[in-house]
Amino acid sequence: MADNDDKKSGNKTVLRSASWFGTNDKNGFMYRSWMKNQGIPDHHFQGRPVIGVCNTWSELTPCNAHFREIAERVKNGIREAGGIPVEFPVFSNGESNLRPTAMLTRNLAAMDTEESIRGNPIDGVVLLVGCDKTTPALLMGAASCDLPTIVVTGGPMLNGKHKGQDVGSGTLVWRMHEDLKAGNIDMNEFLSAEAGMSRSAGTCNTMGTASTMACMAESLGTSLPHNAAIPAVDSRRYVLAHLSGMRIVEMVHEDLRLSKVLTKDAFLNAIRTNAAIGGSTNAVIHLKAIAGRIGVDLSLDDWEHGRGVPTIVNLQPSGKYLMEEFYYAGGLPAVHRRLGELGVLTKDALTVNGKTIWDNVKDAQCHNDDVIRPLDNPLVANGGICILRGNLAPRGAVLKPSAASPHLMKHRGKAVVFENFDQYKARINDPELDIDENSVMVLKNCGPKGYPGMAEVGNMGLPPKVLKKGIKDMVRISDARMSGTAFGTVVLHVTPEAMELGPLAAVQEGDYIQLDAENGLLQLEVSDAELAARLEKLKSTQVIMRTGGYMEMYRERVLQADEGCDFDFLVGCRGAAVPAHSH
C-alpha cells in the first residue's frame, strides 16, 4: 500500500510492511532475501506485523545503558503476540556526557527517528527511551510519522546513598556544591558522594526531567500504566517491557495510531499531572514540540490549566522522597486517580492499551500518604508551572513554584548582570562582586541560539559571600533552562532570548526588576523608549557567529522556547507514506 492509512480486509490488517515483503517480484525478492541473511524463516514474511524497536542504547548515555536487556524483553513480547521485532538504533542523546547540551541534538535525534521509521518496513514501533531528551525526541519523530506507537522507558535508578541517608541524583550535586562553596563541607566529603549517588542502571531517581518526561509519556496515554515509576532494576520493569511488546502488535491490528492518543485533552492531562508531581520546567518546551509534530495547538497559555492544581508528590527536588518510594506508594496511577477525584483529569482520554485513562486508574491505590499526599494535605497548594510575562519577557518565561522559595515569589531587586555563562563563572566567586541576597541575578545569551542549545545553566550557583551568610536562594533570571533536579526561585526560558535581541539583552547592571509570580509579571523598570534605544544600539554591534555544520543549521532554524525549540521545517505530521523503491 502507498500510505499509512491501513485498511482491513475482513479481520486481517493490510500491513505497511507488505509493500516491502508482500510481493513476488524483483523487489520483494531483494527485500526478503537480504533480511534472510539474519536467519529469518520465510513464514515470518507472510503477513505478520513488523514492529520496530527503536533503541537509544549507548554506553555514553548511562541512563539508557541497560536497554539491550529491555529490548530483548520487548522483542519476546512481540514474538509472543505474533509480530516480527526489528531493532534499530537512533542517535542516543545522553544528558550526562554530551556537550554543550543534549538539547542541541534533541532535534537531530527526532529527525533520525522520523526518517528511520518512515523509510523502513515498519508497521508499528516501540520507543525505548529514558534519558531526558530521548523521550521527547523519539515521541517527536514518531508523531511526525503517526504509526501505532508505544513508549517504554528504562526506569529510574535505585535511591542514592550517602552517609546513611537517601540522596537524589542531580539534586545532591547542586546542594553539595553550594555547601562546598559556603565552606560547610570539605573536598573529601564532596568527592565521597560520587560513588553513592548513582547505584544502579536507570535515569535520575529524583523528579528531574527524565522522570518528569516518563510521567508525561504515561499521562499522554503513550505508555502502559505504571511505566513511569518502576525502578530500572525491578523485575516488573521487564514484565512491562514484555507486555508492551505484546500490546504494540495488537495496536497495529487495531490501527491505533499516535494521533488517536495525542489529543488536546491528553496534553492538558499531562500539564495538570506536571503540577501534581512537581515536574520539570523542561516539560513546557518538550510538550509543545511533541504537540507541534502531531498537529495539536498547544501554547504557553494552556499551562494555566495547571494553576491551582496542588503538588501532591513529595519527591526531591521539591520534597523529600525519591522515585523508588513513589513507585512503592502507587506510582502515577495513584496520582491520576486523585486528579480524577479532584475533577481536573479528562477521564475519557484514550491510552495505548485501548482503555481510557480513567479506566486504567479508577481503582488505583495509594500505599503511602506521605509520598503521594492527599488532596487536602498537599506539598504545595498551587503547584502548576507559573507563566510570567511583562516587558522583560513579552512572549513568556517560566518558574516552578514547587521548587521555589515562597518569600521570593514576589520580589523587587537590583540586577547583577552576566552577559554569558563564561562571564558568570569568571565573576561569581569574586569577593568584590557587588551582590547580596536582595539582588536579582541575570544571565544572558544562554537561550536556544545563544549557547547554543539552551543549556541547563539557569540555576546559577549563588556567590560564596551570600552562601556564607546562610542564604540558600536568590531570584535568578535567564533565557536558559535548568535541570529538573535543580531547585530555587529561578525564572527560565525568557523569550525572546538575548541572542534574538529580546529585552533581556538590554538589561544593565543596577536596573531594577520586579517579579510577581502570583500575577504572572516579570517587569524591567526601564521605560519603553530607553529599552528600545538600548536594543537598537545592541543591534548595530551584534556579531552573528558562523560555525558550519549542524550547529549553524541549528542556530538558523531553531524556534524559540515558547514554540518548543523545534526546527521550523520539522513542525507538523508528515505521515508514513511508503517511499519509492530503492532499486
Q: Per the structure block, which three cell numbers stand in for 196?
A: 553513592
- Three-state helix/strand/coil letters over 121-171: CCCEEEEEECCCCHHHHHHHHHHHHCCCEEEEECCECCCEEECCEEECCCH
Per-residue pLDDT, averaged over 382-399, amounts to 96
Residues in contact with 42: Cβ distance below 8 Å, sequence separation at least 6, in sequence order = 32, 36
Residue 425 has pLDDT above 80, yes or no: yes
- Non-local (6+) Cβ contacts of 529 within 8 A are none
Residues of the chain with CATH 3.40.50.2300: 48-158+206-300
Q: What is the pLDDT of residue 4?
A: 43
Rg of the chain, C-alpha, whole Å: 24
Question: Which of 484, 490, 563 minimizes the C-alpha distance to 277?
Answer: 484
Give the tens place of pLDDT for each residue, 255-295. 999 999 999 999 999 999 999 999 999 999 999 999 999 99
Task: Give span(s): CATH 3.50.30.80, the chain.
Answer: 386-546+553-561
Contact (Cβ atoms closer than 8 angstroms) between residue 133 and residue 225 = no
pLDDT band of residue 12 (cuts 50, 70, 90) is: low
CA–CA gap between residue 417 and residue 48 (Å, rounded): 61
* Nearest in space to 318 (alpha carbons), one of 375, 268, 267, 381: 381
Give one word for 521, left, alpha or beta, with left for phi > 0 and alpha for psi -120 to 50: beta
Question: What are the angstrom distances between the C-alpha of 254 and each of 48, 147, 151, 319, 504?
Answer: 14, 11, 17, 42, 50
- Give the pLDDT confidence score for residue 177 in this predicted structure: 87
Cis peptide before 100 (omega within 30 of 0): yes
Beta bridge partners of residue 8, listed in sequence order? 13
Residue 11 is predicted with a pLDDT of: 47
Average pLDDT, the chain: 95
Band of pLDDT at residue 2, cut at 50, 70 and 90: very low
CA angle 229, 232, 238 (to 5 degrees): 95
How many residues does this entry show for the chain? 583
Of the candidates 137, 125, 53, 47, which has an alpha carbon nearest to the alpha carbon of residue 92? 137
> What is the C-alpha to C-alpha distance for residues 296 and 197, in angstroms, rounded to an integer?
39
CATH topology of domain 386-546+553-561: Glucose Oxidase; domain 1 (3.50.30)
Pairing of strands 410-418, 512-516: antiparallel
Give the pLDDT confidence score for residue 10 in this predicted structure: 43
- Can you give the pLDDT at residue 7? 44
Mean pLDDT computed over 9-26: 83
Domain 48-158+206-300 has CATH 3.40.50.2300: yes
Reduced to 3 states, what is the DSSP secondary structure of residue 30?
helix
Strands (E), 400-494: 410-418, 440-443, 475-478, 490-491
343-362 average pLDDT score:
98
Comparing C-alpha atoms, which of 278, 90, 65 is closest to residue 154? Answer: 65
Question: pLDDT tens digits, residue range 313-338?
Answer: 999 989 999 999 999 999 999 999 99
Across 438-465, b (16+ Cβ under 10 Å) vs e yields ebbbbbbbbbbbbbbbbbbbbbbbbbbb
Look up the pTM and report it.
Answer: 0.95
Rounded to the nearest angstrom, the gap between the alpha carbon of residue 236 and the centroid of all alpha carbons in its chain is 23
So what's the pLDDT on residue 3?
43
